[in-house]
A and B are shown apart, each in its own frame.
Chain A
Amino acid sequence: MASKRFVAKRLLLLVPVLFGVASVVFAILHLAPGDPARVIAGQRASAEQLQQVRRELGLNRPLWIQYLSFLVDAAQFEFGQSYSISRGAPVREVLIDRLPVTLELAIYGQLAGIFIGLPLGIISAVKQDSLTDHLTRVGALTGISVPIFWSGPLLILAFATYLDWFPTSGRIDSTLFLPNTWTLFGTELPLTGMVTVDAVLLGNWQAFTSAVHHLFLPALVIGIYSTALISRMMRSSMLEVVRQDYMRTARAKGQGAKITLMKHGFRNALIPVVTIIGIQFGTLLGGAVLTETVFGINGMGLTIVTAIGALDYPVVQGTVLTFALLFTLVNLFVDITYGYLDPRIQQ
């Protein structure tokens, strides 16, 4: 297991990056041309009303004080209230409501990529230059070239509109209603917000099937992309590894080809792939934004798109920071996994 010192060092390195990220977000939204006071008070507000709103929001304070107070608030995950899209609601609540939706989508898409992409990549490398290899390579290259906002609509047209196998949008049948809490041994606990998980926790199988039914196409769209990416990486990494001396040594001492491949090859080939999975998680989150827009899923992605259009700055700040934090944490996790797979890194 990765040593505690290694993990602690990685965590410390996060601080300056997150500080920078928060500063960039603050800078971006203060450079933006729209006037937040105007958004809240409306187009017909008088100069006095505008002043009043500015005072309430603290926008009349010197810029450096606004900056410092933003940093302090952001550290506590406090972004004020939504200006327009969920008017008056605390941004934190909007985020808590929408984050699980996006996470659910991203996790299923990523899992599909890992469970289909890794084996495909291995087969492709082991049978280099075979027909399977060529098909996998061309398929993977096509997979990363097809934009999500094209594959999504095409899948909807084929499987939802024409064949009517799947719903065109949403997360669950509108007739089904899930409560906010579930009970475990008599204690009431909050639900996760991920419908597939919640349905299982509640033991509501009808809701579960409906959730899977709704999630299938959007997760497939993300899964295609992630499968393509991971199989490409796994293939080239595996090809690199099979040429190494230790592979020959293992075979020379009489170990079977399959065992050598899985025991020595797979683990070593996985190292660079894990890094790539981490880096590409950012692209996956971008993909989730587009997927949510295509499938009308009300997660973080659809929220940020609506918020930017409506100049709802606190919501934009909150969502962008959450996305960046999520991305950074996934990469931290990847770094730690990397240290576990290759203990030399920990030095």
Chain B
Amino acid sequence: MSTETSQRGVVGRLRASPFLSQLLSNRLAVVGLTIILGMLAVAIYARVTLDPGALASSRLGTEIPDRAPPGWTGPAAFDQHLFGTDSAARDIYKRCLYGAWLALQYGTITVGISTVAGVGLGIIAAYYGDVTDNVVMRTMDVLLAFPPLLLALALVAIFPRELGLWRAVAALTLVYTPRFARVVRGAALKVLEDEYVDATIALGAADPRVLARHVLPNTLAPITVQSTLNFGLAIIDLAALSFLGFGATAGTPSWGLMLSRGVENGLLTGRWWLSFFPGLFLAITVLGFNLLGDGMRDALDPRMREAID
């Protein structure tokens, strides 16, 4: 019976509850959601219509000029190279669109794996307590003692260069997992204090059942907020690693790598379009996740709800 109640509670909370209406009444959160959905549409469009191999290969030696400014800035025809071309005469507009696919794809994988790992570790630490808790959380503390980007830089050194963006994904997963573990452990400890959990255990429920049916659903809210806010961060950090040369392999249309080429080839010569457009896509996407994450946090905070009601 207790399972039934808690399930209904969770589903109910996610569905009609103040949360969604609260979130949707927050104008900035809606803007964020719109940006993310728009970027997702761009990503899917790019994935379906563009060929990554063609985007990566150099166009030098063809009739297409390299480092050509955006079509609309000069006498050239409007529809030619909306964002200009890069140092290998590739079309920056198409590469930016495909970059959305890469950012969202690898961002989702990074946040997904760290969420799952962090949730697992956090719940286990909270539930078993004692030595388990200590071992898990002290390890997390050590990982949290590094400045995030620097731990990621040290970690990418472990993985072979050929892995490309996967190398950055692996490193960042290890950087983010402790944050999720910490948040989840805190939330799980609170749930474990509730009497119904004791009741379930007294009724003879096995550990996995208690964890999966009672503890996990009740930690979903903080996890969701943490994931959303972390999503923006993951997209920036993935791009940062590519920018520094430890992510996407040469030619890949990733925003970070495009920015790095833009700094190399465009800063002193004033070829602004090489860095402007990829950075714009990156910043807008991250802004979308931050707006949504902020709105979710406010909507979940009961004090904020009181203030508005």
Q: Interface segment, B117-125, B196-204, B260-268?
A: B260-268
Secondary structure dominating the interface of A: helix
Q: Interface segment, B4-12, B75-83, B243-251?
A: B243-251
- Which residues of chain B have C-beta atoms less than 8 A from A286's C-beta? 147-150, 240
B226 at the interface (CB under 8 A from A): no
Q: How large is the interface on B (under 10, 10 to 19, 20 to 34, 35 or more residues)?
A: 35 or more
- Which residues of chain A have C-beta atoms less than 8 A from B256's C-beta? 149
What's the Cα separation between A142 and B246 when bound, in Å?
Answer: 26
Query: Interface 1/0s, chain A 251-276, versus B by CB < 8 A?
Result: 00000000000000000000000000
- Which residues of chain A have C-beta atoms less than 8 A from B188's C-beta? none
B294 at the interface (CB under 8 A from A): yes
Contact between B158 and A320, CB atoms less than 8 A apart: no
Q: How many A-B residue pairs have CB under 8 A?
A: 153
Residue of B nearest to A19 (CB): B142
Assuming the A-B contacts A141-B287, A147-B283, A308-B157, are A294 and B263 also in contact, with contact meaning beta carbons closer than 8 angstroms in the complex?
Answer: yes
What's the Cα separation between A126 and B92 when bound, in Å?
Answer: 45
B279 at the interface (CB under 8 A from A): yes
Contact between B276 and A154, CB atoms less than 8 A apart: yes
Assuming the A-B contacts A17-B141, A141-B290, A304-B153, are A149 and B267 also in contact, with contact meaning beta carbons closer than 8 angstroms in the complex?
Answer: no
Contact between A149 and B263, CB atoms less than 8 A apart: yes
Contact between A323 and B263, CB atoms less than 8 A apart: no
Of residues 142 to 196 in B, which have CB atoms within 8 Å of A's CB atoms?
Answer: 142-143, 145-151, 153-160
What's the Cα separation between A25 and B154 when bound, in Å?
Answer: 8
Q: Which residue, A142, A149, A162, A323, has most C-beta atoms of chain B within 10 A?
A: A149
Contact between A141 and B291, CB atoms less than 8 A apart: yes
Secondary structure dominating the interface of B: helix
Closest beta carbon of chain A to B166's beta carbon, Å? 15
- Which residues of chain B have C-beta atoms less than 8 A from A18's C-beta? 145
Contact between A324 and B150, CB atoms less than 8 A apart: yes
The contact sample of 29 A-B pairs, CB cut-off 8 A, is A17-B141, A17-B142, A17-B145, A20-B141, A28-B154, A32-B157, A146-B279, A149-B259, A149-B260, A150-B282, A153-B263, A154-B279, A157-B275, A161-B270, A168-B267, A168-B268, A283-B149, A285-B150, A286-B148, A286-B149, A289-B149, A289-B150, A290-B149, A290-B240, A305-B244, A311-B157, A316-B157, A320-B153, A323-B150
Interface residues of B (CB under 8 A from A): 28, 138-139, 141-143, 145-151, 153-160, 232, 236, 239-240, 243-246, 256, 259-260, 262-263, 266-270, 272, 275-276, 279-280, 282-283, 286-287, 290-291, 294, 303
